[in-house]
Structure 1
Amino acid sequence: MTKEELISYFSKKKLAFLDGATGTYLIKGGMAGGVCPETWILDHPDVIKSLQKSYVDAGSDIIYAPTFTANRVKLKYFGVEDRIEEINTKLVEYSKESAAGKALVAGDVTMTGRQLKPMGDLEFEELIEIYKEQIEILCKAGVDLIVVETMLSLQECRAALIAAKEVSDIAVMVTLTFESDGRTLFGTDAKTAAIVLESLGAAAVGANCGAGPDTMGDIIADMASVTNIPIIAKPNAGLPVMNPDGSTSYDMECERFVPEMEKLIKAGATVIGGCCGTGIEYIKGLHDRYGVSEGGEDNLPETLEYPDGRKFTRKQKGVRFLTSERQSISFGMDDPFMIVGERINPTGKKKLQAELREGNLSMVCDFAAKQEEDGAAILDVNVGMSGVDEKQLMSDVLDELIPLTSLPLCIDTSDEKTMEMALRKYPGRALINSISLEKDKAERFLPLAKKYGAMFIALPVGPKGLPTSLEEKHEFIDTLCDKAYKLGLTKEDIVVDGLVATIGANPNAALETLSTIAYCKENGLATICGLSNISFGLPQRAFINTAFLTMAIANGLTMAICNPSQELLVNSAFASDLLRHKEEADIRYIERMDRYDGMNVTVACVPKGQTLQAVGVTPSSDKNASGNSTSNDGKEVTPENPQDAFLKLIKKDVMKGSKKTVEKDTKEAIAAGCDPKQLLNDVLMPAINEVGELFDKGKYFLPQLIASAETMKMSIGVLEPLLKEAEGDGGKAKETIIIATVHGDIHDIGKNLVALMLKNHGFNVIDLGKDVPSEKIVDTALAEGASIIALSALMTTTMQEMKNVVKLAAEKNCTAKIIIGGAVVTEDYAWEIGADGYSSDAANCVRVVKKILGVIDEDK
């Protein structure tokens, strides 16, 4: 079944029904914890067949084949990876037998448990190959569609979608699991996920697991508001609770679950089912209440609304979206003007060229941060120059920028292989800069835009070069658009470059560009231009550029590539939006002017022969925002004490997760006379604490938290021998902490981060790994004299092992305090099983441990 066929199928159904939980029923059927679910099913096929037949009888239109963890990585953990084809094929066979032609069978795919670089050791291309292997087997076995579910990482969703597209034209549905803050564990919000996945070719998107229907409404509504494909809602039956017999159940009975699902239908869900804790009676209840017979009446909502009653509509024609992994921007033809930051480009920047050739990306990161601070909405990224491997350098730059900035990226390269690598790797919806009609570029690059769901800049340059007239320029635009439309791209995927020439050579250059902008707006096309060409060869260029920009905005210019630190230019753009009464332009202008709080701002004529200062800013102090002095020309002056400079530099390394430079900077700080203990207590510890606070506030996300923690670890690696040498015997011994993912659970990303954070705070951490038997955890704690046992679980089927550890510790008179955490674990559950503490995340865990042990922070 293709994407189009599945969407048509859902459209005819109006409301389609999925199945419910599987894992809990397998356990009830006798499956023990810690075994390979797939091979257990092969040994007990009647259990899954009975369950799935019951789901079909209850009204399921689609049942999930039990291939959830049947990828080579997870099967290898049980030593059966060589049976991958047999396992997937047989499991699909069981599901098809159960469906008996009455329901569709979806091949079920999920995360591998290994983490992508830079957080793990898994390469993106390797992950695509892992998914391709399983999906190809599933397609061969005869599944009707693929479902990628319970995903925590948008990038891993992309890998599975790309894999599916490269082995088949089969339809793919994708659902992610969101935290209570409405974001995935990796920091992706629902809108961003839906935009990226629809643009990449998903047939349906949605959410599963993680929450009950009473708390999933905003997530579903957000997804529905930015897409036109079907929206899936497959929530849990509420929250997990511990039963007196030690088993786990959920707190939302069928009688409450079914009515609560109406909120999700009103929020836009048209494909519904149940996840953890739901069963046959839940699916039957949904079908009985909301099912519609062929041609019959339905009780589906006429208008869509958020749970709080706010109305919304599905994705509107004319709205464009660009995203990073953690943020999306939307814009239409009459929305406020946007800046594409131009600074990450080595052309004309000798220092940047030198750093890039050395593999030093510090300036790239600084440019990104500064441009975001100065108001850029998108960042252009160009690393093309002689003497470098552009593809590898672009890959390295993306590795730095993806966790650093939440702004969408504009990929700027004329090399086809570099462009495909970047679009393939970038975990968002990028903008391609640019595609023209020269040298078959349209034929080579437009398919990349279609395959990877990117927008693109249409550059009106023909096979023979620049257009010779305004009419020819518009013909080039029409030709480029027609080629894009034939591939299935739309007007909303295109931004036309106005192609600015210099008025020094062509007095009509500005008028012709303005005419092109107006032409594009009349035809529903967004526009962009580079500003600097207009004034080339003329004096005091800033005035010309600014005047031209305001005229272009008045004619409908959508965005421009420029330096956002050019105050006169950017402030004039904000003022232009205000004068044209664009939505929220007044608030944007006022917030922009807040940057001049306490300063006297003047715009003055500049005498001939003097340096242009189009915007005269007189600070009330001679200190800039970073606290350093400024010279007469406005440049930052390094403090006189070089040690202070190193302290700030190393803190900046930790805050930005600069793993490539922190070791060198730490060594240079020591050589400059910095005290190792001061670096640890006054720089590293406060920095990682600040990172934790930003994480708690939702300003930093998991990739940034991990990058900062690993950066700090590398700096400590340099300091540690010096600290031990200074303290003689190594100083006071730190408390020992035993950490493990409990028996039966092979997920460890959260546990690994907790271990890293605790080590960074000086604790002696013994990491036992994942799927660790209770006996080993307690015995190790006794043998090592541990003060704390930290336990992690990601699945409701394994969280009961935490209670076993608590019980065993008491039986063996282990005095270590026990704290627990994990995606499914709640604070109430911690107290229910007799644990001593609960942590919601890695940053919080450090505070919990210190509180339990009565440790006083030396850095405070």
Structure 2
Amino acid sequence: MTTNAQERPNAQERADALRQALATRVVVADGAMGTMLQAQDPTLEDFQQLEGCNEVLNVTRPDIVRSVHEAYFSVGVDCVETNTFGANYAALAEYEILDRTFELSESGARIAREVADEFTASTGQQRWVLGSMGPGTKLPTLGHIRYSTIRDAYQINAEGLITGGADALLVETTQDLLQTKSSIIGARRAMDALGVSVPLICSVTVETTGTMLLGSEIGAALTSLEPLGVDMIGLNCATGPAEMSEHLRYLARNARIPISCMPNAGLPVLTKDGAHYPLSAAELADAQETFVREYGLSLVGGCCGTTPEHLRQVVERVRGLAPVARDPRPEPGASSLYQTVAFRQDLAFMAIGERTNANGSKKFRDAMLEARW
């Protein structure tokens, strides 16, 4: 399982070059994958009777998957995400093909790697592959699934991605901090098993409520996840850029590591023809340029509803920009599932009392009368 990753020439050099690029300039990733795959109308046979399992297309219709990567690279993006968002325990178990986790992860990364190498050779611009690791549909915090079960499955997922040629691992669209931790730890174990080191990017999803799905504030996410050794933290999915601004501001002020942002093309509007994403390409480009200049983003891209045209305009706006220098001043603290609490020493006195009801408690009344404080 480790041979291909170790023998592939320049794999570590590519990963190191990506780290260097993220540290010195703005790197642009791609946009939506699923809608572009569906637009090519794959048949039920293409899905091997597993309707909606896009990852199967990595094996049956690599030409479709390849065409999506080509469309994004053609507009100048630096990296594409693999078609492996659902190559995880929860999603594949529902299709009863859990034993294909490695196969579908490796094939998805290999397709993207081939296209990236072709564009690197033809344009002279280094192109990279981000191995997509999606959240699945089970939340361990709510007891849907055991933490160790999905952690071990994420390791297989990550091993397949690295073996197929991914230059970085992108833990994305996370909604449950325990699920996020399981995927990060699984990714770390995969790197250790394969003897490689690639950038590990974590992208959480904050809903329109202002928190992650289970109620975690962005501060709780940063306090919980940064110590796990991720190379970058950011936001993707759920909302458009407008709703992400305050969360990015918090990260800019507190995160010691680089920041990413991959928003939807606005909040979806339900029409008779289904969901419509209203944000234009120019509006997304405006927002991402603003975020780069104000919050020092190192990686930008798009999520649901974004197209190659959206990313073409983003590339034009941020090309040549260097991340604005940040001066983060995080306050040490601890976090629950919901919020972070700073380690501050309060010099004021603290009054601690229990129920002092002389009428309701004879024992308390007697103690009070006898001055047994």
Partners of 1:237 and 1:251 within 8 A in 2? yes
Aligned equivalent of 1:249: 276
Shift of 1:25: 0.9
Aligned equivalent of 2:210: 182
Out of 101, 117, 123, the residue aligned to residue 146 of structure 2 is 123
Shift of 1:197: 1.7
Distance change in 2, residues 1:287/1:628 (3 Å): farther
Tell me, in whole angstroms, the C-alpha distance in 1 between the residues paired with 2:147 and 2:220.
Answer: 20
Aligned equivalent of 2:69: 52
Tell me, in whole angstroms, the C-alpha distance in 2 between the residues paired with 1:183 and 1:628.
Answer: 47
Structure 2 SS opposite 1:216: helix
Tell me, in whole angstroms, the C-alpha distance in 1 between the residues paired with 2:363 and 2:57.
Answer: 69
Shift of 1:239: 1.4
Structure 2 SS opposite 1:633: helix
Structure 1 SS opposite 2:297: coil
Aligned equivalent of 2:339: 327
Within 5 A, what are the aligned runs for 1:187-198? 187-198=215-226
Shift of 1:199: 0.9
Partners of 2:18 and 2:128 within 8 A in 1? no
Tell me, in whole angstroms, the C-alpha distance in 2 between the residues paired with 1:76 and 1:323.
Answer: 32
Shift of 1:630: 4.1
Partners of 1:224 and 1:315 within 8 A in 2? no
Tell me, in whole angstroms, the C-alpha distance in 2 between the residues paired with 1:257 and 1:51.
Answer: 20
Aligned equivalent of 1:90: 107
- One-letter amino acid matched to 1:322: A
Within 5 A, what are the aligned runs for 1:499-648? 573-575=347-349, 622=358, 630-633=364-367
Shift of 1:220: 1.1
- One-letter amino acid matched to 2:270: M
Aligned equivalent of 1:173: 201
Tell me, in whole angstroms, the C-alpha distance in 2 between the residues paired with 1:300 and 1:322.
Answer: 29
Partners of 2:334 and 2:340 within 8 A in 1? yes
Aligned equivalent of 1:264: 291
How high is the TM-score relative to the length of structure 2? 0.81
Distance change in 2, residues 1:253/1:113 (3 Å): same
Aligned equivalent of 1:529: none
- One-letter amino acid matched to 1:145: A
Aligned equivalent of 2:167: 144
Tell me, in whole angstroms, the C-alpha distance in 2 between the residues paired with 1:229 and 1:6.
Answer: 15
Shift of 1:32: 6.9
C-alpha deviations, 1:805-859, integer Å up to 9, x for none?
A: xxxxxxxxxxxxxxxxxxxxxxxxxxxxxxxxxxxxxxxxxxxxxxxxxxxxxxx
Tell me, in whole angstroms, the C-alpha distance in 1 between the residues paired with 2:342 and 2:76.
Answer: 38
Shift of 1:5: 6.1
Q: How many residue pairs end up in the alignment?
A: 338
Partners of 1:99 and 1:105 within 8 A in 2? yes
Is 1:70 matched up with 2:87? Answer: yes
Aligned equivalent of 2:8: none
Structure 2 SS opposite 1:632: helix
Shift of 1:121: 4.3
Tell me, in whole angstroms, the C-alpha distance in 1 between the residues paired with 2:337 and 2:270.
Answer: 36
Aligned equivalent of 1:29: 40
Is 1:103 matched up with 2:117? Answer: no
C-alpha deviations, 1:402-459, integer Å up to 9, x for none?
A: xxxxxxxxxxxxxxxxxxxxxxxxxxxxxxxxxxxxxxxxxxxxxxxxxxxxxxxxxx
Partners of 1:623 and 1:629 within 8 A in 2? no
Within 5 A, what are the aligned runs for 1:699-718? none
Aligned equivalent of 1:752: none
C-alpha deviations, 1:26-55, integer Å up to 9, x for none?
A: 121114794211113433222221221121
The answer for unaligned runs of 5 or more in structure 2 is 1-11, 45-50, 121-125, 192-196, 369-373
Comparing both chains, which one has the higher relative contact order based on Cα–Cα distances under 8 Å and sequence gaps of 6 or more? 2
C-alpha deviations, 1:325-347, integer Å up to 9, x for none?
A: 2222334xxxx426xxxxxxxxx
Q: CA RMSD in A?
A: 2.9
Is 1:212 matched up with 2:226? Answer: no
Tell me, in whole angstroms, the C-alpha distance in 2 between the residues paired with 1:46 and 1:622.
Answer: 80
Partners of 1:164 and 1:170 within 8 A in 2? no
Shift of 1:99: 1.1
Tell me, in whole angstroms, the C-alpha distance in 2 between the residues paired with 1:155 and 1:121.
Answer: 12
Within 5 A, what are the aligned runs for 1:673-752? none
- One-letter amino acid matched to 1:104: W
The answer for unaligned runs of 5 or more in structure 1 is 293-297, 305-312, 339-572, 576-591, 597-616, 635-860
The share of aligned pairs that are identical, in percent, is 24
Shift of 1:95: 0.6
C-alpha deviations, 1:167-197, integer Å up to 9, x for none?
A: 2133210111111232101121112212322
How high is the TM-score relative to the length of structure 1? 0.37
Shift of 1:299: 7.8
Aligned equivalent of 2:27: 16
Larger Rg: 1
